[in-house]
Structure 1
Amino acid sequence: MRVAIVTESFLPHMNGVTGSVLQILRHLEQRGHQAHVVAPAAVGVPEQVDGAPIEAIPSLGLPGYPDVRVGTSGAQRIASSLRRFAPDVLHLASPFALGWRGVLAAERLDVASVAAYQTDVAAYTERYRMAATTGIAQTHIARLHRRATMTLAPSADAAQQLAALGVDRVRRWGRGVDAERFQPTRRDPALRATWGADVVIGYVGRLAPEKQVEDLVVLRDIPGARLVIVGDGPSRAQLETVLPDALFLGHLDGDALAAAIASFDLFVHPGESETFGQTLQEAHASGVPVIATGRGGPLDLVRMGIDGWLYRPGDLDDLRARVADLAGDTRKRRAFGEAGRDAVQSRSWTGVCDRLLEYFDEAQALHHADSRARARRRVRPEPPAPVTDGKWHRYVALGDSLTEGLCDPAPDGTLRGWADRLALLLAARGDLHYANLAVRSQRVHDVAGVQLTRALELRPDLVSILIGANDLVKRRVDVSALAAELEVAVRRLRAIGADVLLVTPFLPGRRAAWIYTRRFSAYATALTGIAARTGAMLIDTDLHPQLAEHPNWGEDLVHLSSRGHRFLAYRAGELLGVPDADALGALDAALHEHEPLGVGAWWRRHALPWVWRRLHGRVAGDGRTAKHDDYVRLGGSSAPRSAFVG
C-alpha cells in the first residue's frame, strides 16, 4: 500500500501529532508499505524518516508560538506532490489548515482520505480568548471532516463532538503507548531525591492556556507533596509566577521523560480540551495513578476508583480533594498504579497501527463505492417513461425564497433566481418546460406537502429542491425529523422516474449566522445520506465556501444577490452536465457587479418589516402563490426570456 501523510505538525517540533505520525511511519516500514510525508518546513526537519521522504513545504510560525509551524502552500502544490507519489490513500494528521488543502488535493487526484481528529481547535480558540472565531473554526472542522472519506476519532467524547457538527463515517482510533519505554522499572530514587518531596505530583504537557495548568495552584500546601512540571510553552513564565513552589523541568523526551513520569507518585492533567490524552496513557504504563478532568479523552482512559480519579470539570475543590486522597494513601496509589499498568498492555502501537491499516483498506472501499454512486447519478437511471435523448424536458423547482429568486430582479421587475437561470441553461440544449413552485418563507413540510403534490401532477423528469433554512433557524429543530420528511418526498419523486437535485442550505459569512452552523452542517450531512440512498444528485454548498462571501448576498443580507444566484446556477449546471458551465459562469461573473445597499436602507426595507411580521405571527409568504405554478416553455419563440436573462 502507498500511504501519503499530510500532517499539521512534524519534527523538530515534538507533540502528540508528531509522535503519532512517527509511529505510523515506523509501522508502515515494518509492514512493507511505502509512505510519503508532506509537512510544514522548519529548521531541523529531516529529509527522510523510516524510509519515507519528507517534503517540507513553506510555513509560517504561529504568532506567540514560533515553534508551531503553519503550512502555507496551496492545494495545487500538495496535489502535485501527491501526484508524483501516486498514493492509494491519504492520511490527514490532525487536519486544519494544511489538512484542508490536503483533502482538496485528494479530491483532485480521486484518492481516499482518512482524517484523524486529534486537536479540538474550536476549544483552543476559546482558551486563547478568540471566542469570536469559534463558530468559524467549528464550521471549518465540519466542512473538512465531512469532505474526507473517513474520520478517526480518538475517544467517545470526540466522536460525539464530530457528530454534533454533522460529521458521519466516524471510526474510533485511539493512540498506542510504548509500554517498553514507559514502565515502573524506570522509577529513579536519585532523581526523586533531587526533587525533595515525600509525594511527587507530576504534570507533563505543553504549557499553554488550553492546558489549564494554572488550575494546579489549588494543590499548593498539600502536606509532604510537591508539584513537578515537565514541559514548555508560551505560558511558562506566567506559570512560574503563579506556582512559585513548583519545580519546572522544561521539555524532556526519550528515556529522560520516561524516568520522570515513573518517578511521580501521581499524575494530574487539568486540561478540558483533550481529544485523547497520550500522557495519561504513559503515566498508566509507568504504574502511576491519574487524576484528570471528567471531560474529553480522559473519560475513556481513566476508570474511576480503579486506576485514577476524574474530577468535575471546573471544580477545583474536587480536584484538590481527589489529589489529597491519593497523596495520603500509599496503598491506594500502588493499587491504582498497578491497575493502570495492566489496562494499557493491550494498547501497543503495533496493534493500534494495524487497526489503522484496516481503516485505510475500508476507506479505499468506501471511496470506490462513492465514485460508483457519483457515476450512477451522472448517468440517469431508466425512468418508467424513459427520456430517449438524454435531456430533461420537464423541470420543476421546489423550495422557498431562495428558489423563488428574492434579491435577483429581472429587467421587468419580476424575480429570477438560481433555478430560473438553471432552467435557461438547460433550455439551451433543447426545448424545456419549466415550473417554479417555490414560495418565500416555506419550510420542509410545505415542500413535502402542497409543493410535492403539485409537482407529482406535473410529471417532471427533473426536480430541484433547496429547502430547510427556515426550519433550521427556528428556536428548536429536529434535524433528523426534517430529513426523514424530505426523504419521503424525494422517494416519491424518484418513484415516478424524476431525477432529483438536492441543494444543501447555506449561511452568509456573517458573525450572526455562526450560531446556526452546527444545525446546517448536521442537516447537510443528512441530505448527503438521502442522496446516497435514493440516487438523487447533490450540491453540497459547504464545498463552495465562496458562496458565503458578502458580494454573493443581497441587500437584505439573508438572500443571495444576483451574483450569488448566478454562482449557484452554474454550479448546478456543472453537475447536470451543461457544456462549459464553469467557463460560462466565469464570463457571466465578469460582466456583472453587485451594488451593496446602505445600512439605513437595510433597516428600513428589510429588518423592521421582518420584526413587524414576527410580532404579528405572519411570514413573508402568506397569501403568495408560486410564480410558475404550471409549465412555461423555454427554448422556443414563446419563452418569456426577459424574466430569466440579465
Structure 2
Amino acid sequence: MQRVNSRFQGRLRLSGVVIAGHPDIVRVAIVTESFLPHMNGVTGSVLQIMRHLERTGHDAHVIAPDAVGIPTSMHGASIEPVKSLALPGYRNVRVGTATTGRIAESLSRFCPDVVHLASPFALGWRGVLAAARLDLPAVAAYQTDVAAYAERYRVAATTNFAQNHILRLHRRATLTLAPSSESTQQLRALGVDRLRRWGRGVDAERFHPGARVEQWQRRSLDEVVVGYVGRLAAEKQVEDLRVLHGVPGVRLVVVGDGPARPRLTALMPDAVFLGHLDGHELATAMASFDVFVHPGESETFGQTLQEAHASGVPIVATGRGGPLDLIRMGVDGWLYRPGDLADLRMRVMDLAGDGRKRRAFGAAGRTAVEGRSWQAVCDQLLGHFEEARELQRVDRALRARRVLRPEPSQVGTARRWQRVVALGDSLTEGLCDPAPDGTLRGWADRLALLLSAGGGIHYANLAVRSRRVRDVRGEQLARARQLRPDLVSILIGANDLVRSHADVPALAAEVEEVVRVLRDDGADVLLVTPFLPDRRAAGLFAARFSAFAVHLAGIAERHGAIFLDTDLHPALASRPNWGEDLVHLGSRGHRFLAYRAGELLGVPHAETLGALDQVLHDVDATTKARWWREHALPWVWRRMRGRVAGDGRVAKHDGYVYIGRSSSMRGVEVG
C-alpha cells in the first residue's frame, strides 16, 4: 500500500481533520484474532468497542474465528464466524484460517466505512489485504507482541518471520494504534509508520476496592496475599514468582490457566492455583489481593495492571513494555529491573511489610484510572477512525496523481505511454508461457499488448532468465537508458533472495539506484514485488521476500514509482498459476499478473478482460514424473556444472518493436 508522506500528515493535523467529534454514523467492520467464547484481553477490548458503537448509534460487523458457542449477534452487531483451527497447547483458542477472498466477500456485503483490525496477525493479515483490495481504510490495533513470544520460545527463525510479518501487515494498514510508549518505539524501529497512541479502558465499576473480601484465601488476618492474574504460558514468565518462596507472611495466589500450569504447580508447590476466573469472582479476587505482581516482559499494555489499580491494589511489575506507562514509581507501585529476581523479591517484601504504604499506593492507583473509562478510550478510537478515513482519501488522490489514470471520456483517444521497456529475469522473459509459434510471451509482453489497445506503442523486453539485481542495475539499465522509455517495468530479486546468503538491504539499495536513475531520466517506473509459489519448500524464503517487498514499498514512495504489491493478490501463488517446473509462472499466471498490472496502470476494463481470459484458458496440470525429468534434474545438472539457464542468452527484444492494432510481438525493430 502506498504511504502518505509527512507533509500531508502535517496538513491534516493543521487543518483539524483529526477531530474528537463524529456526527456521522460510521459503519465499522471488526476483524479480530480472538472472540467469544474465549475471553482474553483482545476479546475484552472488542466487546467494549462493540458496546460503545451501539451506545453512540454506529453500525458494527464482526469477523472472528469460528468456535463452539460463538454468538451470531451481540450489542447490535452481526458476528460472522470464519474457518479456524485450534491453537496447539490451547484447546479453546482458535486461529482464523479464512482466505482473503472470503474476508473481502464479508466486507463487501457489510459495506464498512473503516476496517478495525484487533491485534492482527493471522486473520488480521487477510483482513488488511481484503481492505486494500476493496480500497477501504484499515486501523490496526497492536496488542500482542508475537515476535517477543516467539523469542521467549527460543525459535529464532520464527522470531524473524514474526517481525517481518508485523512490519508488512502494519505498513499496509492506514493507521496503526500502539498501546504504550515502548511498543510505539518497537514498531517505529521495525519501520512501521503512521503510529498513534491508543491505550485501553478499564471497567472501574466492576473492578473496585468495594469488592474486597478480607478473609479471601488468607490463613490468618495478618497474612499478605500476593496475586497474579493472567495466562499461564512461557511468555508470561510466571515461573519468576518462585523467588517469593519463603518470604515471611506472604501467600502467593495465581489466577489463570494455560499450558504451563502443570509445570508451574510443580515449581511453586506452596502457591494457590485457582484456575480461570471471570466476572464477579475475578473482581473479588483482584480486590482481595494485597499486592499484585506482573513478571511478564512482553506485554504491550497490561490490562490486568489497570484492573488492579481500579481495585485499589498496589503493583510490583517488570520495568519493560506496557507497565512503564501505567506504574508511577513510588506512587502507586514499583518497577523492578527486568530479569532481576532479587529486585522483584525485595520490592514485594517492601510492600508486604508496610500496610500503610500499600494503602497509599492502592489509593493513588485508583485515582489514576478513574479518567480511563472505556467511553473515553472508545471516543478516541472513533477519532482515529475518522483520521484513517481522511488519510485513505489522501492516499487515493496521491495514487491517482502518480498513475494518471485516463478519464472515462479520454479512454481510446489519449495515450499515456508510447515507449515501454521491461527489465528483469525469466519471469519477465516469459519462461513457461509459450506463444503458438513457440516464442515466449510472459506477463510484460501481455501487458504491452493491453497498453497498446488505445494506440500503438514501442516495446522492448530486456529480461533474460537467471539474471539478478546486479544485471538489471548494469547492462539492462544501460540499454534501457539508450532507448529513452517513458515507462519501465521492473520485476527482479527472486534469484538473489533464494541464494544461501542474501543481503536484503543491499539488494534493495541497488534496485533503488535503478529506480532513481530512471525517474531522473523522466520515465515512469512500475515496480513489482517478487513472489513465491504456494509450496511448503517456498516457506524457507518467505521472510526474505517479505522484507524485500517492504523495502520496495519504501523505494516506490520515495521516488514516486507505481507499486504493484503482488502480496495483495494471494491467488497468484496458487498452483494453477504456475508452470510445469513449479518455479515459474505458467500462461495462466502470466495472464493474471498482466491484468493486475493493467488495472494499476489504468487499462480500461482490465479486471473484466482478465476474468474472461481466465474462463477461455484452462491449463491442465502435469505429472510429477514429467516435472522431475524435464525440469528438476536438468536444473540440478546445470548447477553441478556451475552454469545457469541464461548463459549465452540475450534479450528477446533488445530494441523496440512496434505493437499496434495490426502488429504482433514479432514486429519491426525501430530503435
TM-score computed with the length of structure 2 as normaliser? 0.77
Using the TM superposition, give the Cα deviation of residue 202 of structure 1 relative to its aligned residue in structure 2, in angstroms: 1.2
Using the TM superposition, give the Cα deviation of residue 204 of structure 1 relative to its aligned residue in structure 2, in angstroms: 0.4
1:584 aligns with 2:613: yes
Using the TM superposition, give the Cα deviation of residue 279 of structure 1 relative to its aligned residue in structure 2, in angstroms: 0.7
Identity between Structure 1 and Structure 2 (%): 65
Q: Which amino acid aligns with 1:581?
A: G
> Any idea what SS the aligned residue of 1:590 has?
coil
Q: CA RMSD of the aligned region, Å?
A: 4.4
The one-character-per-residue Cα deviations of 1:68-116 (angstroms, maximum 9, x if unpaired) are 2345655566555545544322222223444345445545654333222
C-alpha distance in structure 1 between counterparts of 2:367 and 2:641, whole Å: 66
Task: Rate the CA distance shift 1:345–1:566 in 2: closer, same or farther, 3 A.
Answer: same
Task: List aligned pairs for 1:227-306, cutoff 5 A.
Answer: 227-304=252-329
Task: List aligned pairs for 1:219-230, cutoff 5 A.
Answer: 219-230=244-255
1:606 aligns with 2:639: yes
1:568 aligns with 2:568: no
C-alpha distance in structure 1 between counterparts of 2:338 and 2:514, whole Å: 40
Using the TM superposition, give the Cα deviation of residue 245 of structure 1 relative to its aligned residue in structure 2, in angstroms: 0.8
Using the TM superposition, give the Cα deviation of residue 526 of structure 1 relative to its aligned residue in structure 2, in angstroms: 1.0
Using the TM superposition, give the Cα deviation of residue 214 of structure 1 relative to its aligned residue in structure 2, in angstroms: 2.6
* Number of equivalenced pairs: 625
Task: List aligned pairs for 1:506-517, cutoff 5 A.
Answer: 506=531, 510-517=538-545
C-alpha distance in structure 2 between counterparts of 1:552 and 1:197, whole Å: 72
Q: Which amino acid aligns with 2:183?
A: A
Q: Which amino acid aligns with 1:519?
A: A
Using the TM superposition, give the Cα deviation of residue 278 of structure 1 relative to its aligned residue in structure 2, in angstroms: 0.7
1:538 aligns with 2:544: no
TM-score computed with the length of structure 1 as normaliser? 0.80
Residue aligning to 1:360: 385
Using the TM superposition, give the Cα deviation of residue 426 of structure 1 relative to its aligned residue in structure 2, in angstroms: 4.0
Task: Choose 410-419 or 100-109, whichever is displaced more.
Answer: 410-419
Using the TM superposition, give the Cα deviation of residue 191 of structure 1 relative to its aligned residue in structure 2, in angstroms: 1.8
Task: Rate the CA distance shift 1:299–1:438 in 2: closer, same or farther, 3 A.
Answer: farther
Using the TM superposition, give the Cα deviation of residue 175 of structure 1 relative to its aligned residue in structure 2, in angstroms: 0.8
Residue aligning to 1:613: none
1:115 is matched with which residue: 112, 117, 140? Answer: 140
Task: Choose 251-260 or 543-552, whichever is displaced more.
Answer: 543-552
Residue aligning to 2:19: none
C-alpha distance in structure 1 between counterparts of 2:130 and 2:272, whole Å: 46
1:28 aligns with 2:53: yes
Using the TM superposition, give the Cα deviation of residue 246 of structure 1 relative to its aligned residue in structure 2, in angstroms: 0.6
1:488 aligns with 2:513: no
Task: Rate the CA distance shift 1:475–1:372 in 2: closer, same or farther, 3 A.
Answer: closer
Task: List aligned pairs for 1:50-69, cutoff 5 A.
Answer: 50-56=75-81, 61-69=86-94
Task: Rate the CA distance shift 1:627–1:285 in 2: closer, same or farther, 3 A.
Answer: same
Contact 1:287 1:341 in 2 (8 A): yes
Contact 1:503 1:539 in 2 (8 A): yes
Task: Rate the CA distance shift 1:80–1:592 in 2: closer, same or farther, 3 A.
Answer: closer
Contact 2:141 2:177 in 1 (8 A): yes
The one-character-per-residue Cα deviations of 1:181-209 (angstroms, maximum 9, x if unpaired) are 33445443222535777332211012233
Contact 1:166 1:525 in 2 (8 A): no
Residue aligning to 1:208: 233
Task: Rate the CA distance shift 1:626–1:110 in 2: closer, same or farther, 3 A.
Answer: closer
Q: Which amino acid aligns with 2:302?
A: G
Task: Rate the CA distance shift 1:585–1:81 in 2: closer, same or farther, 3 A.
Answer: closer
Using the TM superposition, give the Cα deviation of residue 26 of structure 1 relative to its aligned residue in structure 2, in angstroms: 2.2
C-alpha distance in structure 2 between counterparts of 1:609 and 1:116, whole Å: 49
C-alpha distance in structure 2 between counterparts of 1:370 and 1:447, whole Å: 30
> Any idea what SS the aligned residue of 1:580 has?
helix
C-alpha distance in structure 2 between counterparts of 1:56 and 1:637, whole Å: 53
1:525 aligns with 2:553: yes
C-alpha distance in structure 1 between counterparts of 2:225 and 2:401, whole Å: 63
C-alpha distance in structure 2 between counterparts of 1:75 and 1:558, whole Å: 23
Task: Rate the CA distance shift 1:499–1:256 in 2: closer, same or farther, 3 A.
Answer: same
C-alpha distance in structure 1 between counterparts of 2:421 and 2:473, whole Å: 14
> Any idea what SS the aligned residue of 1:114 has?
strand
Using the TM superposition, give the Cα deviation of residue 20 of structure 1 relative to its aligned residue in structure 2, in angstroms: 0.8
Task: Choose 88-97 or 193-202, whichever is displaced more.
Answer: 193-202
> Any idea what SS the aligned residue of 1:500 has?
strand
1:423 aligns with 2:448: yes
Using the TM superposition, give the Cα deviation of residue 244 of structure 1 relative to its aligned residue in structure 2, in angstroms: 1.2
1:459 is matched with which residue: 462, 484, 487? Answer: 484
The one-character-per-residue Cα deviations of 1:131-151 (angstroms, maximum 9, x if unpaired) are 765555555544444443322
Task: Rate the CA distance shift 1:243–1:422 in 2: closer, same or farther, 3 A.
Answer: same
Task: Choose 289-298 or 7-16, whichever is displaced more.
Answer: 289-298
> Any idea what SS the aligned residue of 1:229 has?
strand
2:117 is matched with which residue: 92, 96, 99? Answer: 92
Contact 2:578 2:586 in 1 (8 A): yes
Using the TM superposition, give the Cα deviation of residue 538 of structure 1 relative to its aligned residue in structure 2, in angstroms: 2.0
Give unmatched runs, 5+ long, in structure 2: 1-24
Using the TM superposition, give the Cα deviation of residue 351 of structure 1 relative to its aligned residue in structure 2, in angstroms: 1.9
Using the TM superposition, give the Cα deviation of residue 21 of structure 1 relative to its aligned residue in structure 2, in angstroms: 1.5
C-alpha distance in structure 2 between counterparts of 1:587 and 1:608, whole Å: 42
Residue aligning to 2:13: none
Residue aligning to 1:615: none
Using the TM superposition, give the Cα deviation of residue 235 of structure 1 relative to its aligned residue in structure 2, in angstroms: 3.0
Q: Which amino acid aligns with 1:354?
A: D
Task: Rate the CA distance shift 1:159–1:416 in 2: closer, same or farther, 3 A.
Answer: farther
1:190 aligns with 2:219: no
Task: Choose 583-592 or 266-275, whichever is displaced more.
Answer: 583-592
Q: Which amino acid aligns with 1:222?
A: V
Q: Which amino acid aligns with 2:34?
A: S
Q: Which amino acid aligns with 1:522?
A: V
1:181 aligns with 2:206: yes
C-alpha distance in structure 1 between counterparts of 2:424 and 2:445, whole Å: 13
Contact 2:588 2:614 in 1 (8 A): no
> Any idea what SS the aligned residue of 2:307 has?
helix
